[in-house]
Amino acid sequence: MAGIALVTGASRGIGRAVAKRLAADGYRVWVNYGRGKAEAESLCAEIESAGGSAIAVGFNVADGEAVRDALEPLIEAEGAPDVVVSNAGITRDGLFAMTSEEEWSSVIDTNLGGFYHVTKACLRGMLRRRSGRIIAISSVSGQAGNAGQVNYSASKAGLIGACKALAKEIASRKITVNVVAPGFIETDMVKDLPKEELAKAVPLGRFGTADEIAAAVSFLASEQAGYITGQVLGVNGGMYI
């Protein structure tokens, strides 16, 4: 077995695809979910039936105490994850002038605060072991900005800055920190968008798939990516170059 991989927000969409891919790569996957317990347990059963290993781990990434309560016993029993994928995220879209404090804070607390809580809970063991892969799922919105998503763009840009700084802090411990920044990906998050119209803004002319994001994560988690840290890998069909 390759080790342990923790994937947050793994009950659906990109997180689900990432969890399945890392399980196929040989990792025992800790499948985090916020509200999708049934979906997470279904994914674990699917992974197990394919010969892999997975457990569902429920906690809200924005709640530091809940993160610690869930992860500390697991880390004590099984060791710190070898790979941490911070994928959990939410949107509360709207014009900035109309954005409430709750809509601002909930997005920042989940998308950026979640990275802090989960990474910090796992990092001590990774530092002690002197190895690991930390991968954050950002967005093209965090690179280029997007009207109507000031809160989301801020949170995703914050992930990029945090990962670049952390990469410098812990490189001497042989831990890499990288970012995958998706563009338009076929998930529930975009199901109500005018896909045909939006695809015209993508040089490759289509939305991406969750499996294509998972492939990028798989590479950054691999031994072949051992000399890559502090980088942003855009998987966006050419939307942002």
Active site residues: 152
SS (H, E, C) the chain: CCEEEEECCCCCHHHHHHHHHHHHCCEEEEEEECCCHHHHHHHHHHHHHCCCEEEEEECCCCCHHHHHHHHHHHHHHHCCCCEEEECCCCCCCCCHHHCCHHHHHHHHHHHCHHHHHHHHHHHHHHHHHCCEEEEEECCHHHHHCCCCCHHHHHHHHHHHHHHHHHHHHHHHHCEEEEEEEECCECCHHHCCCCHHHHHCCCCCCCCECHHHHHHHHHHHHCHHHCCCCCCEEEECCCCCC
